[in-house]
Amino acid sequence: MGDKIKRLAILGSTGSIGRQALEVVRAFPERLQVIGLAAGRNVELLNQQVEEFHPTLVSFQEPGQHLLPLENMDFCSLEEITSHASVDLVLVATVGSVGLGPTIAALEAGKCVALANKEVLVMAGEIVSRKARQHGAKLLPVDSEHSAIWQCLVGENDLEVARLILTASGGAFRDRPLEELARVTPEEALLHPNWQMGRKVTVDSATLMNKGMEVIEARWLFEVPFGKIEVAVHRESVIHSMVEFVDGSIKAQLGPPDMRLPIMYALSYPERWLSPSFPGLDWTALHGLTFGKVDLERYPCLRLALEAGRQGGTYPAVLSAADEVAVQLFLEGRIGFLDIAGLVGAVLDRHSGASHPSLEDILAADAWAREAALNRCLQ
């Protein structure tokens, strides 16, 4: 296993996770080979990546933009890339519902899928996890919180797990007085205190919608009921998550807030690769690790996500779609920060969910929620 090179496809290669994944590839050229790259709008960066890594499969979603073709390079759909016979491992690092179809295609082809897209399991966790089981495919978490839980569970008996504890930094406005949140700007929301992430997930971190989505993801990744999953505020982002066992023991995974480390763990699994390129944790710089309860008055989006997760069916898909629209409207300056929760909550209130939905039901709910969110904004 250690001598075989892994042939990798990266969806969302020009985004934050995709760029950091390519840093991991550069650190391990003898172990990782880029076969496929897919991006949305950043044609300039994608051209640079194509020129450097020479993928044979490329997908680009922005019409009218020029992508430099290389010899032996094919332009494909996302599903064609993720199911291609030459690909061993797929990293889904897109944002939003666009990642769902390619993930299912990869699982149906029996591929290993390293999942960094929250919306895939939020929208269709029941279907995606079932596809993985049916086709003998593996879902490997990339989010730092889920990677931490995954690592803590290695060698453990699932029946002996008492609870999962997801940690949250609190986001950009964790210290802002509540009365000031109505006036905060998109630029301020994008100043995360600990992490360098994409725009959507950084705003979701400020609202803590991301943590609610991570609870839903954890339910499907680790087959743990919602009642055994908790969230704790951990400002330093050093402990990435914890697992408590029935005897009261707790295992925690620690590391610097650097997404290249969980990415590397997913890409190297089931091995661990030695890398002098990425920083370790400097214990001498730690002045303390703090924990606290989540204030749901400050973070109403977390409450909405937890409620949607417990309701199940198509409610999480509606939550995800409405949030995607609301965050984009906030970034465009069309609604305020506090309006994100209000808009998502209003769309959820109008939804009549279906239990155990089909993929068609989920996609229909996603489309309905997007239209409902936009229409409400225009009212």
CATH number of the domain to which 33 belongs: 3.40.50.720
Report if residue 359 sits inside a domain: no
Has residue 55 been placed in a domain?
yes
Tell me the pTM.
Answer: 0.93
- Does the pLDDT at position 25 exceed 90? yes
pLDDT score recorded for residue 41: 83
Q: How confident is the model over 313-317, as a mean pLDDT?
A: 97
Question: Could you tell me if residue 354 is inside a domain?
Answer: no
For residue 67, tell me if it sits in a domain: yes
pLDDT value at position 1? 43
| Residue 91 CA, distance from chain mean position | 11
- Residue 254 located in a structural domain: no
Identify which of 321, 322, 325, 313 has the alpha carbon closest to the alpha carbon of residue 361: 313
**Number of domain units in the chain:** 1
| Residue 149 to residue 53: CA distance in whole angstroms | 32
Going by C-alpha positions, the residue among 13, 69, 19, 68 that lies closest to residue 39 is 13
Cβ atoms of residues 111 and 87 within 8 Å: yes
Classify 238 as helix, strand or coil.
coil
Considering Cα of 169, then 175, then 181, then 185, what sign does the dihedral take?
negative
- Using 50, 70 and 90 to split pLDDT, how confident is the model at 367? very high
296 inside domain = no
Residue 77 maps to a domain: yes
Would you say 85 and 105 are in contact if contact means Cβ atoms under 8 Å apart? no
Do residues 241 and 161 touch, judged by C-beta distance below 8 A? no
Q: Express each pLDDT in 243-292 by its tens digit.
A: 999 999 999 999 998 999 999 999 999 999 987 778 788 888 888 899 99
Q: What is the layout of strands, in order, in the sheet containing 250-254?
A: 229-233, 161-168, 239-245, 250-254
Residue 65 clears pLDDT 70, i.e. is over it: no
72 assigned to some structural domain: yes
Closest by CA to 239, choosing from 163, 140, 144, is 144
Q: Which structural domain range is residue 38 located in?
A: 6-141
